[in-house]
Chain A
Amino acid sequence: MKITVTDAQVDIKVMVFEGNLETNTSPEAEQKINSLIETGVKNILINFEKLNYISSAGLRVLLATAKKLKTKQGMLCIIGLNETVQEIFEMSGFIAIFNVFDSESEAIKHF
């Protein structure tokens, strides 16, 4: 899985995940996210436009990330869900837990 990190604004990092967030790729994703947080990042915008699907392993990472950022008075926002990922979020009830938006601009307003 490919992960690209860019800056949206001064204190918001955008992470684009390309591929699948699942059993084998979640550890890597979690590592990357954690190293960002260690450098002081509080706000992360995850863009799933290029993500095929997410499994429960990936959901676990997202949940852990959201919690970590909250303790640092920051937050996690997510955009770019495709039909499958949207369905997974809805069926798991995570759509209510995470901050999901339709566009980057909308998400940024929320931070």
Chain B
Amino acid sequence: MEFDTFKEEQAIIDQAEVFLADGQKQDCLPAYQTLLNEYKKLLKTSRRLVRMSDRSEQKLKITEDALSKANKRMEQELNVGREIQMSMLPSTFPPFPEHDEFSIYAQLHPAREVGGDLYDFFFTAENWLCFSVGDVSGKGVPAALFMTVTKAMVKSRASDDLSPASIITHANEELSTDNVSSMFITFFLCLLNIKTGEMLYTNAGHNPPYIKRRDGSIETLNKRHGPVMGAMEGIAYKEDKNRLYQGDMIFLFTDGVTEAMDEAENLFGEASLLDLLKSGDNQTPDELVNATFKAVKNFENGTPQSDDITVLALKYLKPLQESIIHSMDLILKNRLYEIDRMNNRFNEFAGKHAIPLKISRTMGMIFDELLNNIISYAFLDESEHEIEVKVELSGEDMVITLTDDGIPFNPFQKEAPDTKLSIEDREIGGLGILLVRQMMDKVSYQRKIDKNVISLVKTITH
């Protein structure tokens, strides 16, 4: 039996009905009847309301439980998202202690809900440092994942491509194809030659970075080379050149800096950032990055951060070197007696540019081995061919290139043994190439359409 909150009221109605049934009260009957009917209606409504309220309370309890679970899951998701994001960032500083040509520092402070910012830096080819910042449009785990994919695409393409425009174009193509989410990423990519200070960069919809020159002046890298990444396929991005000189600092950041808010919803703004950059303090990347975060935190004054904040600063430290290149070029005939001419010319060149005797002697052996190989094996006929030898001296590096138009022949590959040679002869043949490999810092072979090109690099330490 249902519990009745209105027991008393019911009792009154019961009594009234008994009273009205008594024929002796006939003249007050209509008034009382009306009153009784109204009262009965009221009681019915009240009972219904109580029943509804009970049900609501139950529903509320179920909803609260569900919310609590969802909340816990979201917290986990936030943690996962943040873990994904932070684990992808290079976080060891200094990252390249052996390199004194530059100094780099970066930091990312994630918002409570992962905002998908990223920064990255790595060496691609010898002497080329690739560095970047990016900002994904969405939030949470999907943004973190999108950021991860972008980072991987860019890095993968950059391993074999020295043009930022090309890297971004290809990475964008991969990102945009089958991108069913409506997410996109703003991105700034820079390639820096750490030996010369030359810079190439592409800006894909990102807020322009600054360069603070040694004399204190600030440059904004204003050019934009294409839209945000991930939004549309078939975009050909552009790139621009610049140059860092000793003492120059390049400063990359995401809009989490300039759009940081205080309680009154004022924005930190570009002006404040520029003021910070212009101030004479903060000479190292570490100092500048830390100062930026400090300034933003102060400005926010306790207001929770709504977006990720990322800052990356790189200072170029290398003094300008005479990048004068001394070189010599010689065309030889494919005859063994030409090896002498090569050595004479090289010794002349070595004398002129103070190349140590030990190196010239070594090169004598190297030229003998390689030219012997080329002359003996690269040509199938007896007719005259040309072998071009180029030697370039730049700073401490000597690069030698040998080019011939013979059959595809790579002396560094294990060749099939010439069975006409005795065992000793065969072994010594391979030995020559082994010596070349060991005496040079780098050796490589390339087939360029119809030419064999052998490159050798030796760093000369005086």
Decide if A96 is an interface residue (CB 8 Å cutoff). no
Enumerate chain B residues within 8 angstroms of A53, measured Cβ to Cβ: 361-362, 364-365, 368
Query: Shortest beta-carbon distance, B178 to chain A, in Å?
Result: 53
A60–B424 CB distance below 8 A: yes
CB interface residues, A 43-99, toward B, < 8 Å: 52-57, 59-60, 63-64, 82-85, 87-88, 91-92
Distance in angstroms between the alpha carbons of A52 and B363 in the assembled complex:
11
Chain B's closest residue to A54 (CB) is B365
Enumerate chain B residues within 8 angstroms of A59, measured Cβ to Cβ: 428, 431
B372–A23 CB distance below 8 A: yes
Enumerate chain A residues within 8 angstroms of B434, measured Cβ to Cβ: 91-92
User: Which of A22, A60, A63, A91 meets B364, CB within 8 Å?
Assistant: A22
B439–A87 CB distance below 8 A: yes
Enumerate chain B residues within 8 angstroms of A56, measured Cβ to Cβ: 369, 428-429, 431-432, 435
Known A91-B438, A92-B434: A55·B365 in contact at CB below 8 Å? yes
Most buried by B among A22, A85, A88: A22
B365–A91 CB distance below 8 A: no
How many residues of A sit at the interface, in one of the four size bands?
A: 20 to 34
Enumerate chain B residues within 8 angstroms of A52, measured Cβ to Cβ: 361, 364
B428–A84 CB distance below 8 A: no
Chain B's closest residue to A91 (CB) is B438
Query: Shortest beta-carbon distance, B258 to chain A, in Å?
Result: 59
Known A53-B365, A84-B361: A22·B431 in contact at CB below 8 Å? no
Enumerate chain A residues within 8 angstroms of B402, measured Cβ to Cβ: none
B361–A22 CB distance below 8 A: no
CB interface residues, B 370-389, toward A, < 8 Å: 371-372
User: Which of A22, A60, A91 meets B368, CB within 8 Å?
Assistant: A22
Chain B's closest residue to A20 (CB) is B364
User: Which of B339, B358, B361, B431 meets A24, CB within 8 Å?
Assistant: B339
Query: Shortest beta-carbon distance, B401 to chain A, in Å?
Result: 20
Enumerate chain B residues within 8 angstroms of A88, measured Cβ to Cβ: 365, 435, 439
A24–B336 CB distance below 8 A: yes
Interface size on B, residues (CB 8 A): 24
Decide if B38 is an interface residue (CB 8 Å cutoff). no
CB interface residues, B 429-448, toward A, < 8 Å: 429, 431-432, 434-435, 438-439
Distance in angstroms between the alpha carbons of A82 and B364 in the assembled complex:
14
B343–A91 CB distance below 8 A: no
Distance in angstroms between the alpha carbons of A64 and B439 in the assembled complex:
25
Decide if B270 is an interface residue (CB 8 Å cutoff). no
B425–A84 CB distance below 8 A: no
Enumerate chain B residues within 8 angstroms of A82, measured Cβ to Cβ: 361
Decide if B83 is an interface residue (CB 8 Å cutoff). no
A20–B343 CB distance below 8 A: yes
Decide if B3 is an interface residue (CB 8 Å cutoff). no
Distance in angstroms between the alpha carbons of A92 and B435 in the assembled complex:
7
Enumerate chain A residues within 8 angstroms of B340, measured Cβ to Cβ: 24
Query: Shortest beta-carbon distance, A92 to chain B, in Å?
Result: 5
B336–A63 CB distance below 8 A: no
Chain A's closest residue to B364 (CB) is A53
Known A24-B337, A63-B424: A57·B368 in contact at CB below 8 Å? yes
B358–A84 CB distance below 8 A: yes
Distance in angstroms between the alpha carbons of A92 and B371 in the assembled complex:
19
A60–B365 CB distance below 8 A: no
A23–B362 CB distance below 8 A: no
Distance in angstroms between the alpha carbons of A91 and B431 in the assembled complex:
9
Known A56-B435, A91-B435: A63·B428 in contact at CB below 8 Å? yes
Query: Shortest beta-carbon distance, A48 to chain B, in Å?
Result: 12
B368–A55 CB distance below 8 A: yes
Q: Which 10 A-B pairs have the closest CB atoms?
A: A56-B432, A55-B368, A84-B361, A22-B368, A53-B361, A53-B365, A53-B364, A23-B372, A60-B428, A55-B365
Can you offer 20 A-B residue contacts whose CB atoms are under 8 A? A20-B343, A22-B364, A22-B365, A23-B336, A23-B371, A23-B372, A24-B339, A24-B340, A52-B364, A53-B361, A56-B369, A56-B429, A56-B432, A56-B435, A60-B425, A64-B424, A83-B358, A85-B361, A91-B434, A92-B435
Extra contacts, 14 of them, besides A24-B337, A84-B358, A92-B435 (Cβ < 8 A), are: A22-B339, A23-B339, A23-B371, A24-B339, A53-B362, A55-B368, A55-B369, A56-B369, A56-B431, A59-B428, A64-B424, A84-B362, A85-B361, A88-B365
